[in-house]
Structure 1
Amino acid sequence: MSASSSAKELNVENASRGVWLVKVPKYISSRWERAPPLSEVGRLKITKGPGGKPEILFDLSDDLVAMKDAQNSSGSTSKDQPVIPKAHRFTISDISNQHLAVFSHSEDEKGNQVLAVEGNVVQKGECRPMGDNKYMALKKKTIVAARQPTKQVLQLDKAVVNYKPIAAHKADIEFEQRRKAEGKKSREDKDKVMDVLFAAFEKHQYYNIKDLERITKQPIPYLKEILKEICIYNAKNPHKNMWELKPEYRHYTASDKS
């Protein structure tokens, strides 16, 4: 555990309280979540069955049985929704080889995180409907709804155009205007380009390729061919990706270089 987690206290006041861990159908859990606080959700009836085994019956409250299903994605509820079953039976399973507990994670009035043990699981079971006509109608509706395709093909009376075509996009127009303003770059005589480069290197010792392209107004592939003859490309810091004249073409003094 992290230092922040281990520093928290664990409330164990209800650690000795026995609780049941029961798996319930989805239609019951969804209604329990929407039930008003402190309202009755159902009643348990525990009797002795054949062989002395306990028989546990659970009746869902009338209010939850009459509660309508939650609204679907379209904002409406189904008019022909079937009534959910009221009577259920608990099937108990053995947990002698397990030790289970219930924890809660909440905040107190001051906003501090509170971690507590709500009880020790003493019984584990599953809530199952009796399988009467109401349950069968509910399962039929669930199966039919699951088989409905999520996408459907519709026949249109007229073509639907979601966008309006344009002759040229904004980016294409801006590129064409910039290209016309700059003019097409044509290769100058090699000696003329070298004169421009020498004049530029008299002002600064290092240039990147973009600056040299702007100064000479030459295509980059052609410019690199000339640079490889008279310049050195620095691949390491402190002048990484910069070009400088070869020593035999330099004619500035040490003070000029500094």
Structure 2
Amino acid sequence: MAEGSSNNANVDTSRSERAVWLMKCPPVVSRSLSSSSASDSLRPVAKVIVSLDPLLANDDDDSPPQFTMELAGTESGNAPKCYSMDMSQDFIPMAVFSESSQGRTAVEGKILNKFDMKPHNENIQNYGKLCRERTSKYMTKSRQIQVIDNDNGSHMRPMPGMVIASAVSDKKKMPTKGSDMKRTRRDRGEMEEILFKLFERQPNWTLRQLIQETDQPEQFLKDLLKDLCVYNNKGTNQGTYELKPEYKRSGEESTPK
């Protein structure tokens, strides 16, 4: 591949050695950054604070710098403004690609550091309120009223001789429960709210129970649980999942100061 070539068939690699940070952030942070940058391109949307311990040697690998992000603005009153950024350098090497409107592909850089964001300890209480608000919003069903033109109800009543045939036909078409039935994946954000609601009902769930409650594909559910929960390998709750401490209700984990 020719470096810096203008041919659409080649990949522009002139910026392939540029260091890039990869940041995995919650949806509320992504929406806040997008709305802030769209409203005013000259205002900073967030700032990153790097904390170093001056008493430790600069080459001490056991004490890496601590990263914290503070948002300039948020979309909700309960949305946290401060987030911890857990840095990880132990990952498969990756690169960032882009594609222009003309269809030209370019390498924008290689991933140097990977960050996973989570609400800062001082914002756990507000984040818990935000999660409960979103859960209530997703769990509330919107009802609609539809006017039926044919109000005599004749189209709603089965004709004589059709009841048995219809019942037999439906019985044959009914899919069997289990692996034969294809489950449709919900939106990730919606599933997170449903899981938070379920863990408010009871603190511990097995994977099989959660699949029955949510009717979601097993692997998709495992990926969500890996981010939100811890798995109990032993003890009285062996074989069950429970929420990570930062996602639990603040009232259950700490007493008011």
TM range (shorter): 0.3 to 0.5
Report the TM-score when normalising by structure 2: 0.46
